[in-house]
Amino acid sequence: MFFWYFLFAITAFLQTAVMPFDLLLLLVISLSCLEKSPKILLLFFFAGLLNDLITLRVLGQSSVFYLLIGFIIMLYGQKFRSHNPLFILTVTIFSAILENWLQNAGFSPGLVIMEAIAVLPVFYLTRLLFENTQRRNSKQLKLKL
């Protein structure tokens, strides 16, 4: 889990300087589709806090947003297949539009399109990292046995 906390922290810093869109939101969506455990919600909470602190926004607003998005995706994933690229794209577009309205007091179609284009590569990269960490953890368990 430490690896994910570190990744989210680096992303939060990079976002303010390099990315015009919310990369943390894409990571939240990707990780919610892959992992359905309560530990991930804590990660989203801290990612939101860090994002608000670095961008000097009101503390808690990003956490509320990321927690809601993550929870809704996890609920959907309990019954349906959430790895479907079409589902991921749809969720990203709706989340990006909602975030634009709530946090930026406006709507930029360009930003929404950029996030929609970036979400699938981010998802597959996150999936690769996630499966690698899962594999490493399962190897450690085998050694202990």
Partner 1 sequence: MDSLAKITQRFIILLTISLLLLLSDNLKLLYLPKSLFLSITAPATLAVYKASQNFKDAFGFLTFFKSGYQQIEFLKQRNRELLVEAQKTRDLTRENNILKSQFAQTPAFSPRLLPAGVIGFDRYLILDKGSASRVKSGQAVLINNFLVGEINRVYLNQSSVMLITDPLSKIAVISSQNRSKGILQGTFGTGMVLNNVQTGDSLNKEETLETWGDVNFPAGLLTGKIAGITNKASELFKSAEVEPLVDFNKLTTVFILLN
Total residues binding partner 1 (CB under 8 A): 40
Per-residue contact flags (x/-) with partner 1 for residues 86 to 125, judged by CB under 8 A: --------------x--xxxxxx-x---------------
C-alpha to C-alpha distance for 57 and 130, rounded to whole angstroms: 30
Between 41 and 116, CB nearer to partner 1 = 41
Residue 15 sits in the site that holds partner 1 (CB under 8 A) = yes
In this chain, which stretch among 72-80, 85-93, 122-130, 133-141 interacts with partner 1, using CB under 8 A?
72-80
**CB 7 → partner 1: shortest distance, Å?**
15
Contact between residue 61 and residue 103 where contact means Cβ atoms under 8 Å apart: yes
Give the closest residue to 10 by CA, choosing from 41, 40, 43, 47. 47
CA distances from 58 to 50, 53, 115 (A): 11, 8, 23
